Amino acid sequence: MKIQYSLFDTLLEPVFVLNAEQKVVYCNETAAIIAGLSIRKITRGMKLLEIFEFSEPIEGLTKLISITDATPYKEVTFKTAQGGEGKVQITLQPIFDSMGDKNWIVFVRDVTLEERLQKKYRAELEQKEDVIKALEDAKVQLENYSKNLEQMVADRTRELSRLNQTMSALLDSLGQGFFIFNSEGKILDVSSKACETTVECKPEGKDIWEVLKLPENKVDGFKKWMMTVFMEMLPFEDLAPLGPTTYPHSQNRNIALEYHPLRSSEGAMDGIVVVASDITSLVEAQKQAEREKEHAKLIINMIKSKREIHRFIQESQELLISIREEVSKDAAPDTESLYRSLHTLKGGAALFSVKEVAESCHMAEGILNDLSQEFSQSNFIALRAKCFEIEEGFFKFLDETKEILGTTALSDERQIEVAISKLNDIARKVGTLPGGGQVAQELLLELAMEPVERFFEPYNEVMLRLGEKVDKMVAPLKITHGNVMVIPEIYSSLFSTLVHAFRNAVDHGIELPDLRVDQGKPAEGHIEVAIEIKQSHAGPQLAIKIVDDGGGIDPVKIREKLAKKMVDTRKKSDQDVIQHIFDSQFSTRDQVTEISGRGVGMDAIKYAAEELQGRVWVESTVGIGTCLFIEVPYITEFKKDKKKTATAA
């Protein structure tokens, strides 16, 4: 007889279906629970004996082809790799699936559950004598009650009325929403007044999924969870956290939901108590603690990375001037230029934990996005106000920087810490040699150069923090030939935009750990930087290569995005198509997050490289990884121009 395996989905007993190679081709949800693994993982080629370790061999399990009839149930104990254990009865029998292929079905009966029920029934039988005695006492009491029944009923009615009033007053005095639902999902006629503010209604008589405002596509899943809880297939404390944990409050209050069992005197599950707590103040306290933590990181960064902070301040001052000039125009601003400035400023602020500036930049990007879709004077005014708010936040940061690092942090020029007597002594000695004057000047210039790796080391923290936020594992950044020397002032604008490359590598490139392991990769993603000086007909070039071993850039997705923008890519190769990631406001994300989605990060890198008369391009293979190439002229002569600096509004 042919059969559809979906028939087993609703069975409460574990069911596995094996092919001739003993691999699991189907299992129901109960089977996945007892195995301690997901259905997806089990049915991707695992064998039953890889999932369970049985106390003794199961007849025919290793030679399924020999089984032609159902085998007798065999009772064994088992253990799983996840630490689960128990006692089960197992039978095997051949079966033909809906395609006509012969497989073998494994029925598993949880003996442990039956033993628990037997103990429960024995305990109830042991109470039988107590119950009989209680009935006899009740008979005597009933005879006494019958003598003055009318008076007792009146007294009892008054007592129950007082009890109900007390219970209602007690519930209404609670600051938490409190109500109970039964096995059918109906809410009982007991609730606290706080429900009107926490779940925004009087819940009595309504369906629980209606009160919790569950989306229609999640109601069936909730009902299955509810059925599992009432049947007590697993301990309540294990199942309770799987229910909805928050309520979507219309006033943006943070409402947490907790579940507690309501049992009869015999221990049976009569209902589930829902407690809805307003934890808005707690969430705000946690946010405040996070802000204080970020502030502590800011101070540590300022102490550990004085030079990098100094460069960030100088670059940010220039960006703020550009932003102020754009939003101070009477006409519509240059949105692409403003996008680049805001996104680069946000990346630098996030790098050094200047959270207030980073958050304000993100909100300004949102307003600018709306403005680019359709210009309106009200949105332009809102954008201008938000940009001024960014400036205020930056100057607040400058005040804190000034207190920690001193006034040198705000200097127009980078400060080099060297004993002046030592430097003068060396320069004087060199200058006395024939032709030594030029050499002395070159020596001083050499002292003004720094190794490139200093500019990349802070991005290691960016990668690790972002990896934690998106549940990805990232190995420490590897830098090759980081001792190449450069003059910081020449390349600072380019280096500050590279934060986008590392954020994209983690957010878009590196896969989740489970997926990487399934693909044969290490759980940790790897990102490497290689720097070298290359010779070309145009002169020496500073070449930077940023490589990740993530999922790569899918040209199919790029083509789909470009098609929506009415760009014809039919005659372009895949490598040509993926270069469009450098287009202004191009993003593969459908939704904007605080990490990505604006499509201005790679554009900023390209813009900075071209400002130096250089170029950028990308090479990628789906499933293997991506390599970002940057080549700009290697300049060792620096002529200081008068730089613009931001001033307080």
Residues 253-298: tens digit of each pLDDT: 899 999 999 888 888 888 999 998 888 888 888 877 776 676 666 6
Beta-bridged to residue 626, according to DSSP, are: 548, 620
Cα–Cα distances (Å) from 47 to 68, 76, 80, in that order, read 20, 18, 13
Strands (E), 468-520: 478-480, 485-486
State the angle between helix axes of 488-497 and 601-611 in degrees (0 to 180), rounded to the nearest 10.
160
Q: Specify if 649 maps to a domain.
A: no
**Within this chain, do residues 81 and 223 fall inside the same structural domain, yes or no?**
no
Q: Specify the CATH number for the domain of residue 312.
A: 1.20.120
With a pLDDT cut of 70, the percent of the chain lying above it is 81
pLDDT at 589 over 70: no
At which residue do the structure tokens 């092919």 appear? 19
Strands (E), 234-278: 246-248, 254-263, 269-278
Q: Are residues 30 and 124 in contact, defined by beta-carbon separation less than 8 angstroms?
A: no
Q: Specify if 95 maps to a domain.
A: yes
Within 10 angstroms of residue 230's Cβ, the number of other Cβ atoms is 19
DSSP 8-state secondary structure symbol assigned to residue 474? B
Q: Specify if 496 maps to a domain.
A: yes
Q: Specify if 385 maps to a domain.
A: yes
The predicted model scores a pTM of 0.44
d(CA 467, CA 469): 5
**Within this chain, do residues 440 and 395 fall inside the same structural domain, yes or no?**
no
**Within this chain, do residues 490 and 515 fall inside the same structural domain, yes or no?**
yes
DSSP 8-state secondary structure symbol assigned to residue 643? P
Give the model's confidence band at 338: pLDDT under 50 very low, under 70 low, under 90 confident, else very high. confident
Where a domain ends, among 425, 447, 469? Answer: 447
Q: Specify if 297 maps to a domain.
A: no
Q: What total of structural domains would you count in the chain? A: 5
What's the one-letter identity of residue 389? E
Q: DSSP states of 172-205 as a string? A: HH-SSEEEEE-TTSBEEEEE-TTHHHHSSS--TT
Q: Are residues 109 and 13 in contact, defined by beta-carbon separation less than 8 angstroms?
A: yes
pLDDT at 243 over 60: yes
* Number of helices (H), then strands (E), in the chain: 25, 19
Where a domain ends, among 367, 395, 415? Answer: 415
State the angle between helix axes of 128-147 and 111-126 in degrees (0 to 180), rounded to the nearest 10.
40
Residues belonging to the chain: 649
**Within this chain, do residues 617 and 483 fall inside the same structural domain, yes or no?**
yes
| Six token digits for residue 332 | 């519509």
Give the 3-state DSSP-derived string for 203-226, with helices as H, strands as E and coil as C: CCCCEHHHHCCCCHHHHHHHHHHH
At which residue do the structure tokens 């996008």 appear? 339
**Pairs from 147-156 (Cβ < 8 Å, separation ≥ 24):** none
pLDDT at 523 over 90: yes
Q: Are residues 39 and 27 in contact, defined by beta-carbon separation less than 8 angstroms?
A: yes
Q: Specify the CATH number for the domain of residue 45.
A: 3.30.450.20
Q: DSSP states of 46-83 as a string? A: -BHHHHEEESSPPTTTT-GGG--SPPPPEEEEEEETTS
Q: How many C-alpha atoms does 489 have within 13 Å on its Cβ side?
A: 14
Within 10 angstroms of residue 540's Cβ, the number of other Cβ atoms is 13
**Within this chain, do residues 542 and 582 fall inside the same structural domain, yes or no?**
yes
d(CA 473, CA 512): 7
Residue range(s) defining the domain that contains residue 240: 174-278
Reference 472, options 547, 550, 391; nearest CA is: 550
pLDDT at 140 over 80: no
**Within this chain, do residues 477 and 586 fall inside the same structural domain, yes or no?**
yes
Question: Tens of pLDDT along 100-131?
Answer: 788 999 999 887 766 656 776 777 777 777 77
Q: b/e string for 352-362 if b means 16 or more Cβ within 10 A?
A: bbbbbbbbbbb
**Within this chain, do residues 440 and 464 fall inside the same structural domain, yes or no?**
no
Handedness of CA 495, 496, 497, 500 (dihedral sign): positive
**Within this chain, do residues 372 and 492 fall inside the same structural domain, yes or no?**
no
pLDDT at 597: 44
Q: Are residues 78 and 85 in contact, defined by beta-carbon separation less than 8 angstroms?
A: yes
pLDDT at 640 over 70: no
- 3-state DSSP call for residue 567? coil
**Within this chain, do residues 339 and 271 fall inside the same structural domain, yes or no?**
no
Decide the pairing of beta strands 478-480 and 527-534. Answer: parallel
Strands (E), 568-649: 615-621, 625-633
Question: Tens of pLDDT along 18-52?
Answer: 998 999 999 999 899 989 899 999 999 899 999 99
Binning the chain into helix, strand and coil, the percentages to the nearest 5 are 50, 20, 30
With a pLDDT cut of 90, the percent of the chain lying above it is 32
Q: Are residues 3 and 97 in contact, defined by beta-carbon separation less than 8 angstroms?
A: yes
- 3-state DSSP call for residue 404? helix
Q: Specify if 640 maps to a domain.
A: no
Q: Specify the CATH number for the domain of residue 624.
A: 3.30.565.10
Edge-to-edge, what's the strand order for the sheet holding 187-191?
Answer: 187-191, 177-181, 269-278, 254-263, 246-248
Who contacts 74 (Cβ-Cβ below 8 Å, separation ≥6)?
58, 59, 89, 90, 91
Q: Specify if 296 maps to a domain.
A: no
d(CA 285, CA 279): 10
pLDDT at 593: 55
Distance of CA 556 to the CA centre of its chain: 26
**Within this chain, do residues 472 and 620 fall inside the same structural domain, yes or no?**
yes
Q: Are residues 275 and 286 in contact, defined by beta-carbon separation less than 8 angstroms?
A: no
Q: Specify if 292 maps to a domain.
A: no
Reference 92, options 29, 36, 30, 19; nearest CA is: 19
d(CA 323, CA 344): 11
Q: Are residues 558 and 508 in contact, defined by beta-carbon separation less than 8 angstroms?
A: no
**Within this chain, do residues 442 and 454 fall inside the same structural domain, yes or no?**
no
* Average per-residue pLDDT for the chain: 82
**Within this chain, do residues 191 and 258 fall inside the same structural domain, yes or no?**
yes
Question: Tens of pLDDT along 438-489?
Answer: 776 566 556 667 889 989 998 888 898 899 989 999 999 999 998 898 888 7
